[in-house]
């Protein structure tokens, strides 16, 4: 009898539950903010971007993910494209570091439905290919740095997708 009483769960009031939910939400937001780290991403790109092989590996990774992607680059001068990508990734990193969104908006426009017609669903493949390439080229890459890259680039990529 006494045991049953002592093991009964404590009665929680609605206000307690709301406080617990608020605390959990706050902790999740804090974790998300902690993952965004433009300086770590900038350093990581600095360790990777000077090797021309980085861009070759990126496009091999990207195109191997989907025939549709491969077809989009069928008539592209890939050596020029690799140079353009070098700048494009830097724009994403600099935007995360606080640079104006002009270059990101330009990418949003060039990749929009009316121009290159890049459907928003392709950007996750793009980011996966970037992560796979960084994993090979950045000697300090780690699962934690992967999370940081994804969280840090996400707002700029979302901006490009939103302009589709």
By CB under 6 A, name the binding residues for ligand HEM. Answer: 69, 72-73, 76, 81, 84-85, 87-89, 92, 107, 110-111, 116, 118, 122-123, 126, 157, 160
The DSSP element (H or E) to which 149 belongs, if any, is helix 143-162
Please name the residues in contact with 111: beta carbons below 8 A apart, sequence gap of 6 or more: 118, 160, 163, 164
> Residue 43 in contact with residue 53, Cβ under 8 Å?
no
CB of 143 vs ligand HEM, minimal distance in Å: 22
CB of 118 vs ligand HEM, minimal distance in Å: 4
Query: Cα 12 to chain center, whole Å?
Result: 39
CB of 108 vs ligand HEM, minimal distance in Å: 9
CB of 125 vs ligand HEM, minimal distance in Å: 7
Q: Which of 30, 124 has the CB closer to ligand HEM? A: 124
Q: Which of 19, 71 has the CB closer to ligand HEM? A: 71
Q: Which of 16, 52 has the CB closer to ligand HEM? A: 52
Q: What are phi and psi of 73, to 5 degrees?
A: -105, 15
Burial, 148: exposed, middle or buried (Cβ in 10 Å; 0-12, 13-18, 19+)?
Answer: buried
Q: Which of 6, 57 has the CB closer to ligand HEM? A: 57
Q: How far is Cα 53 from Cα 43, in angstroms, rounded to an integer?
A: 18
CB of 75 vs ligand HEM, minimal distance in Å: 6
């Amino acid at each position: 009898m006494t045991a049953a009483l002592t093991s009964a769960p404590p009665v929680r009031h609605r206000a307690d539950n709301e406080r617990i939910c608020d605390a959990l939400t706050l902790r999740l937001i804090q974790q998300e903010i902690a993952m965004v780290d433009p300086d770590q991403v900038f350093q990581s790109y600095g360790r990777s971007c000077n090797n021309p092989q980085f861009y070759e590996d990126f496009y091999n990774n990207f195109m191997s993910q989907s025939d549709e992607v491969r077809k989009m680059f069928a008539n592209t001068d890939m050596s020029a494209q690799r140079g353009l990508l070098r700048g494009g990734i830097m724009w994403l990193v600099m935007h995360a570091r606080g640079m104006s969104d002009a270059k990101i908006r330009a990418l949003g426009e060039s990749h929009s439905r009316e121009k290159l017609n890049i459907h928003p669903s392709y950007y996750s493949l793009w980011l996966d290919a970037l992560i796979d390439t960084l994993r090979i080229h950045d000697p300090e890459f780690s699962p934690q740095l992967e999370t940081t890259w994804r969280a840090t680039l996400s707002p700029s990529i979302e901006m490009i997708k939103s302009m589709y």
